[in-house]
Structure 1
Amino acid sequence: MADVIMEDSRSEKLMLDAKAWPLESLQLFRKLLQNVMDNPYDAKFRKLKLTNARIGALLAESGARNAFEALGWIMSSTGDALELPATASLDLTAAVLRGTELQPPGEPVALTVLRGALKSKLELPCNTLFSGLAAAIEQSESLGRIPRKRQRLLVGVPPKPLQESFPNFASMTISELGLKAFKLEDTWEEMVADLRAVRASFSSLASVLACKKTLQDNYEFLLDSAKALLKARAMAMDASELFDARSVFRILWPPGDSSTKDARLAHCAVCTPLAALAKAEDGSPIQFALRVERANLFQSALEQIGQAPVSDLRKSLQVTFVGEAAEDAGGPRREFFNDFGRACGDEKVWQRTPAGSLTPAPDAPADVFRACGRIFGLALCQAENAAQEQRVRENATLQELLAAVTQDDDNQEQQLQQLLVGATLARPFLRCIQADIPESVEELQAELNAEQSESAPDFRGSSAFLTSNLKDLGLEGQLTFSREVQGSIVDLTVGGRSIVVTDTTKLDWLRAVLRHELVDATQHAASSFRHGVCDAAGAAYLALLSADELQKEWSGLSHVSDDALRIWQERSNVNPARKQQAAWFFEILWDEQTRDARPSVLKFTTGSDRWPTDPKTFTFYVEPMDGGDDLLPRAMTCGNMLQLPSYTSKERLQSQLLKACDMGLSMQLV
């Protein structure tokens, strides 16, 4: 009975979506399904090449990809086609074909379409789907050939949008609507005025971008308008608006595009609240002083940052460690963010994925994640804040700040090092924070696999699970629509623990269990974390970056590769008095026996054991200090400076350097 209810619900949704598509798309969809029904054992009809232009256009229709997945189609192992496994049931396919069967044209119906003072007549068969009416309007010269994606039809007196009277109008025929007159509006004309006044919504902008002609003809204007809208709205976005903003930028300025990454990051900085830093009477930034206990860093930081007014988060952050005299000129701040991430991994509110990333523990209190989100948000914007303290006291905007901190008086590049959190957030959790929820089986499997250990993959992420039957996998009768969470059984549907998974419902189970594990179980924490990020840095980073980009922007890389070490060495300024010792220093880091020490040496000398993904502003200094073989080296983390005594051998330098790293003495001088 549960399977029948599930199929009825899915088939109704599929039929409504399909009947709303343009006639040519609906006809192609039906033809592909009918081919399978007529030739159930012919493999060629069970494979759809994504490179085919007609297939690509069909899959671009709203709900089309989900429709094929609901019917059992899956991504091929090569990623270039959709395939229907031989074990997939065709019952739902047959139901959808019956429900979308095209009726005979029927008697013609005369329709009146008003556009402004213009009145135009159309005559269409009574069984024409609404998409046919939209197509006729698009082809009408007298109505201005308005693309169907820009059409807004109103009915009644006073006129109101058609969907208010007929929620499913897009899947209805003209006779089912029973209307003889419509008022037509071009949504683009209204949108231009709203965009210029920066009063549009991302939702309305997304609907306009669905029209390819509008997009092609107005791309630069649309991108500039979207950027202006993001700047105006970045500090006041909820999850729904963030979702709409990401939908817009996915088309105009796609996250993940390496060619635009620098420009997108620059716009994120423009949208941060640091553009209006609080100033004292003498023009210096008013500081937010954070005093943390090194032995209790997580809790001591959360108590202060969680309770701080939002206005304090816009001030210049100054970090001091209780009981230490070091003044924060960048080093303690860098070490704080690094150590906070590492401390998260020791707290019960967080748990580690098999890949070692952080994801919320079940039932952890929401206020903890809002405070954590604030700290992660501060990490995104306090590097610019730190630079402003030293060089820009009178500038009013972050754009001016960025220009000032990237060049000095001699037009030379300056250091603007990222503040990297010492642990990565799990990618599924990041996507939830970004309101970019993975929905399809393909996406959910990818997110699951992203957080698995290479040596112990999860069977649910394998292509074999999609293509093999449960008996061959040894899982027949072993799975139900439920999952265990901390010793308790959670039903994925009503009575789920009593519903045994079959080959027919296998994909439904996989989608439900992964959705619950990767999304539903962390949604509350993700919402709180998002609020915290927005308190400190706004939503621009969440809107403009991909999950992978954001992950690296927050936490960089956990290892120092050979390429990174080469950059480290090339960017080093060595005092001639320590030329030999500096050479030994890098020989030690290049040595295969000590390569694992690279992160700890990096932390000792810079305050962070994370390597930035964009190290173009990274600089390093090697300077002398008094003394010889009996002394440990010292570091000035605010300036990425290592101070070396006059060691007489590489072996002695190595011994003293590694000892200093183990003892954590990097804060002797900051």
Structure 2
Amino acid sequence: MGNSCKKCFERRPQKIHPQLKTPNPKGHQNLNNFISVDQASLFHFQPEQYQFRHLGKQFGIQPITISRPLILLTNVINSNVSQLDSDESDRQEVRVSMGWKVKKDSSSGNTVWQVSDRISLDKNRRREIRNMTMEQALIQRSNLCLEEKKIWLQKYLGKQRIPYVDDREILVINRENLVQESFDAFQTFIDLNLHKELQIFFVGEKAQDAGGVEREWITQIVQHLLSNEFGLFRRLPGLQEVTYYFEIKKEEGNKQLQWYYFLGQIVGKALFDQVPLNFPVCKALMKLMMNKNVKFTLEDLRSYDSQIYNSIKMISSTSLTPEDIKALMINFTVEIYDKNGTIIQYAELIPDGANTYINNENKQQFIELFIDYHLRKSVQKQFENFLQGFSTVIRPESLKIFEEVDEFELILCGSPYVNVEDWQDNTLYRETLSKSSQVIQFFWKALEELNQEDLRIFLQFCTGSTRVPIEGFKGLISNRGKLQKFTIIPSQEENSQMIKAQTCFNRIYIPQFKSLEEVQTAVNQIIINRENWLYFDYE
């Protein structure tokens, strides 16, 4: 950073984690040059085995253990509106807004996000949206497209932001113990306020955080807390998409619940700072974030457990004969089993539920209570602590602007699809480089040949995040919400064969490669050696 920025930086009030104020560098040699990024499980969470036996027992279905291979999160197709409208008649359109068409497959229940021509709002309309009060926005929300809702939300959250010149929070941690030290820091901060700018510094690394390091830190924290290592979430069985929900346990200790609170703070900070988040959780959690008192429906169960969904759907759609009632003998209780077949939770859904059996008159009551137990009551403490942490950053009323969970999910998570053509169209070139430069043509050709998984890894190398804003690459930002398009600058290092990145400003420095093969080698080295990425900052 420049000298004037340094002076400003040094004069601002600072809060540094007291236990880590004078840390000792450790880890890799040449740590000033290398940032060790643990990306080994970024797209390869171990499939979890999980058993549900409640309905199996009651319907006479043998309990099964489901273990699935990894399937990419979401299928997103670059298409035109006219092409999208030609889909099969059993696909119901949910929303067309901000260039996104969201469709639900009525047979599978899966949501498919597809890209169409983007909507462009003029300055006057943007100003009108920003000036809306909450009451005005809520009255008009049905007529607002997703881009307008995002503009309003950013303005609303921006009013709560504490300017970085007034105060900020600083976190200095060792990368080798990133999650634990971050958690400890949040516990020991006095009057932690995540409406302030949060700057992350890794011990022994020279990168100055102007947004990119924070994006990388948030991505890493969420990735680790979703993994099996921490036991906070479980991968849901029987679903096409990789989806997680709270781990069900007999009891949750206070320390474990503090981790959910911490994760809620991180997710809230991501939304507040506009960091697209790889957060593949069950839609029930997204609905709870929008409204903790939400009433769940049968469709919410579909994205939770397909086997239970099909069983409950059968009960809902079938008129039970006296013979059915006698054969099924389903009472108003619920049992949840762990992987080993041990009951971890048992509850009566109503008083004397063990002796109350369903019939045509009370089956709807049973279905509603059963769904609510699985999605809410079985993990009550977990989601309450998560929401408490989340609400320290995001006020619940601000999310009322969204009518559908798919809208909120897009705002929070951005797009999992990396469109190289869109990336290329929204790239700036500096100094001697231009779109027609031979090395630039090699670069884009190399990226076009990558699959989506590798593109996401390379995107994180460049920007600190694996996701793209819903506006596409034109929506990339630096810190403080300032638009910052992806930029390619020629490297000043002679004989260099290494692409380097400044994630804070979404820019890379590229050597004058002489062939496509040289570019492919450099890009592949970044992807293969993602645990030892090299970052640097000229400023």
Q: TM-score, normalising length from structure 1? A: 0.50
**Separation in 2 of the partners of 1:431 and 1:315?**
27
**Separation in 1 of the partners of 2:315 and 2:143?**
30
Kept in 1, the 8 Å contact 2:169–2:197? The answer is: yes
**Separation in 1 of the partners of 2:372 and 2:281?**
18
**Separation in 2 of the partners of 1:646 and 1:496?**
73
Asked if 1:336 is matched to 2:187, the reply is no
SS of the equivalent of 2:245 reads strand
**Separation in 1 of the partners of 2:294 and 2:392?**
25
Kept in 2, the 8 Å contact 1:437–1:519? The answer is: no
SS of the equivalent of 1:420 reads coil
Alpha-carbon distance, 1:570 to partner: 0.4
**Separation in 1 of the partners of 2:494 and 2:517?**
13
> Amino acid of the residue matched to residue 569 of structure 1?
Q
Cα offsets for 1:198-225 (capped at 9, x unmatched): xxxxxxxxxxxxxxxxxxxxxx9xx967
Question: 1:661 aligned to 518, 521, 527, which one?
Answer: 527
SS of the equivalent of 1:536 reads coil
Could you say what the CA RMSD is over the residues aligned between the two structures, in angstroms?
A: 3.5
Kept in 2, the 8 Å contact 1:604–1:635? The answer is: yes
**Separation in 1 of the partners of 2:522 and 2:381?**
48
Counterpart in the other structure of 1:13: none
Note the 1:410-559 alignment, pairs <5 A. 418-439=274-295, 443-451=296-304, 458-460=309-311, 462=313, 464-469=314-319, 476-477=327-328, 479-485=330-336, 486=338, 487-488=343-344, 489-546=346-403, 547-559=405-417
Counterpart in the other structure of 1:200: none
Distance 1:295 1:634, change over 3 A: same
Kept in 2, the 8 Å contact 1:358–1:424? The answer is: yes
Kept in 2, the 8 Å contact 1:571–1:620? The answer is: yes
Counterpart in the other structure of 1:194: none
Asked if 1:587 is matched to 2:445, the reply is yes
Counterpart in the other structure of 1:352: 235
Question: 1:323 aligned to 195, 204, 222, which one?
Answer: 204
Alpha-carbon distance, 1:519 to partner: 2.0
Question: 1:296 aligned to 155, 159, 177, which one?
Answer: 177
Alpha-carbon distance, 1:606 to partner: 0.8
Note the 1:210-221 alignment, pairs <5 A. none
Question: 2:149 aligned to 231, 238, 261, which one?
Answer: 261
Asked if 1:632 is matched to 2:498, the reply is yes
Distance 1:258 1:536, change over 3 A: closer
> Amino acid of the residue matched to residue 157 of structure 2?
A
SS of the equivalent of 1:623 reads strand
Cα offsets for 1:362-392 (capped at 9, x unmatched): 34443222222222222233x3xxxxxxxxx
**Separation in 2 of the partners of 1:557 and 1:475?**
49
Question: 1:570 aligned to 425, 429, 432, which one?
Answer: 425
Distance 1:496 1:567, change over 3 A: same
SS of the equivalent of 2:287 reads helix
Q: 624-633 or 515-524: which moved more?
A: 624-633
Cα offsets for 1:382-408 (capped at 9, x unmatched): x3xxxxxxxxxxxxxxxxxxxxxxxxx
Cα offsets for 1:440-462 (capped at 9, x unmatched): xxx52222224567xx7841474
Kept in 2, the 8 Å contact 1:380–1:554? The answer is: yes
SS of the equivalent of 1:643 reads strand
Alpha-carbon distance, 1:568 to partner: 0.9
**Separation in 2 of the partners of 1:643 and 1:461?**
56
State the structure with more CA Rg: 1
Alpha-carbon distance, 1:253 to partner: 3.4
Question: 1:608 aligned to 431, 443, 465, which one?
Answer: 465
Question: 2:167 aligned to 273, 281, 286, which one?
Answer: 286
> Amino acid of the residue matched to residue 568 of structure 1?
W
**Separation in 1 of the partners of 2:213 and 2:417?**
21
> Amino acid of the residue matched to residue 329 of structure 1?
A
**Separation in 1 of the partners of 2:427 and 2:305?**
37
Kept in 1, the 8 Å contact 2:264–2:389? The answer is: yes
Alpha-carbon distance, 1:558 to partner: 2.5
Kept in 1, the 8 Å contact 2:226–2:233? The answer is: yes
> Amino acid of the residue matched to residue 344 of structure 1?
L
**Separation in 2 of the partners of 1:632 and 1:285?**
39
Cα offsets for 1:409-448 (capped at 9, x unmatched): xxxxxxxxx3223323432123223335343xxx522222
Note the 1:41-440 alignment, pairs <5 A. 226-227=134-135, 251=139, 253-254=141-142, 257-258=145-146, 260-272=148-160, 274=161, 276-277=162-163, 284-346=165-227, 347-353=230-236, 354=239, 355-362=241-248, 363-364=251-252, 365-381=256-272, 383=273, 418-439=274-295
**Separation in 2 of the partners of 1:312 and 1:537?**
12
Distance 1:309 1:377, change over 3 A: farther
> Amino acid of the residue matched to residue 356 of structure 1?
V
Alpha-carbon distance, 1:553 to partner: 2.5
Cα offsets for 1:596-632 (capped at 9, x unmatched): 3111110111111111112333311122225689833
Cα offsets for 1:283-336 (capped at 9, x unmatched): x33221112333333322222224433454333211012332211122111111
**Separation in 2 of the partners of 1:627 and 1:518?**
55
Sequence identity (%): 19
SS of the equivalent of 2:266 reads helix
Equivalent residue pairs, number: 379
**Separation in 2 of the partners of 1:293 and 1:557?**
30
Alpha-carbon distance, 1:641 to partner: 1.4
Distance 1:638 1:544, change over 3 A: same
**Separation in 2 of the partners of 1:474 and 1:325?**
69
SS of the equivalent of 1:319 reads strand
Distance 1:475 1:263, change over 3 A: farther
SS of the equivalent of 1:622 reads strand
**Separation in 2 of the partners of 1:256 and 1:548?**
15
Counterpart in the other structure of 2:516: 650
Kept in 1, the 8 Å contact 2:150–2:411? The answer is: no
Query: Which is helix-richer, 1 or 2?
Result: 1
5+ residue gaps, structure 2, are 1-105, 108-127, 477-484
SS of the equivalent of 2:277 reads coil
5+ residue gaps, structure 1, are 1-76, 79-219, 229-248, 384-417
> Amino acid of the residue matched to residue 638 of structure 1?
C
**Separation in 2 of the partners of 1:286 and 1:607?**
24
**Separation in 1 of the partners of 2:326 and 2:303?**
24
Kept in 2, the 8 Å contact 1:434–1:530? The answer is: no
SS of the equivalent of 1:253 reads helix
Kept in 2, the 8 Å contact 1:602–1:609? The answer is: yes
Cα offsets for 1:215-246 (capped at 9, x unmatched): xxxxx9xx967549xxxxxxxxxxxxxxxxxx
> Amino acid of the residue matched to residue 565 of structure 1?
V
Choose between structure 1 and 2 for higher RCO, CA contacts under 8 A separated by at least 6 residues. 2
**Separation in 1 of the partners of 2:378 and 2:293?**
13
**Separation in 1 of the partners of 2:148 and 2:386?**
27
Alpha-carbon distance, 1:634 to partner: 1.5
**Separation in 1 of the partners of 2:508 and 2:133?**
47
SS of the equivalent of 2:328 reads coil
Alpha-carbon distance, 1:271 to partner: 4.4
Question: 1:641 aligned to 486, 500, 507, which one?
Answer: 507
> Amino acid of the residue matched to residue 620 of structure 1?
F
